[in-house]
Amino acid sequence: MNPFELLLVEDDADVRDTTRLILERHGFAVRTAADGTEGYALASACPPALAVVDVSMPGMDGLTLTRRLREELSTPVVLLTARDLNVDVVAGLEAGADDYVVKPFDGAVLVARIRAVLRRAHPGSAEPVRLGDLLIDRDAMTIHRGEEEVQVSATEFRLLMLLLDHRPAVLSRTQILRHVWGDSSWGTGRVVDVNIQRLRAKLGTPAIVTVRGAGYKVVDR
């Protein structure tokens, strides 16, 4: 599993879309749900590294969803709440939330809170990764060859981390589309191929291998 894949559960479509874009710009892969029931189903089918959950939702509310995610799936949760009253904060924490952010929130604050929870929930996951002569820093989203930084886009960085986290397994184009772009119906395998080609050119390494008829994988070379 990509350690930076998040589940965003928010019933307000505008807030949901805006928050998803903020998180994706910071390198996260994001799946979204419009209510607690849908969010629970998505998390059960493919547990995320962390869930960002709105408190006030129709049907299964955020506190109930948080409790189920923590007790049944051990999923870390950051709550989004429109109120910062002590009683609401206490209720959220007692439900198992790891942290909370009050709306309207600053995107940088939300991202910082998420990364802090991820570091606690997945110790060691943010350690720099080596691939040949490249040093990859997850938190900073940087890649260095010696003192020189290799410039890649946020999408290319997510793509690289996905392949690294699954090595030496082969990932299909459909799997890559779902994890990197959030929806396997978003585009075609050509989108994956083009981004792989760009990433290879920027990294200057043969470590990303094409497996004909299957997909891509990373090997240590």
Torsion of CA 194, 197, 198, 204, to 10 degrees: 170
Which pLDDT does position 12 carry in this prediction? 94
Whether 129-218 and 5-121 are alike in CATH topology: the answer is no
Any idea which architecture 129-218 has in CATH? Answer: Orthogonal Bundle (1.10)
pLDDT over 90 at 37, yes or no: yes
Q: Are strands 129-131 and 134-137 parallel, antiparallel or unpaired?
A: antiparallel
Kindly tell me if the per-residue pLDDT of 140 is higher than 90. Answer: no
Helices 107-121 and 13-25 sit at what angle, rounded to 10 degrees?
70
Q: What is the pLDDT of residue 125?
A: 56
What pLDDT score does 1 carry? 40
Query: Does position 132 have pLDDT exceeding 90, yes or no?
Result: no
Q: Which two tokens stand for residue 119?
A: 């570091």
Closest of 173, 164, 152, 149 to residue 208, by C-alpha? 164
Q: Hey, what CATH class is 5-121 in?
A: alpha beta
What percentage of the chain has pLDDT greater than the value 90? Answer: 46
* More confident site: 93 or 140: 93
> Residue 142: which region, alpha, beta or left (left: phi > 0; alpha: psi -120 to 50)?
beta
What is the predicted pLDDT for the residue at 168?
Answer: 79
Q: Where are the domains of the chain?
A: 5-121, 129-218
> Could you report the per-residue pLDDT of 65-121, keeping only the tens digit for each?
999 999 999 999 999 988 766 777 788 888 999 999 988 888 888 888 888 888 788
- Percentage of the residues of the chain whose pLDDT score is greater than 70: 91
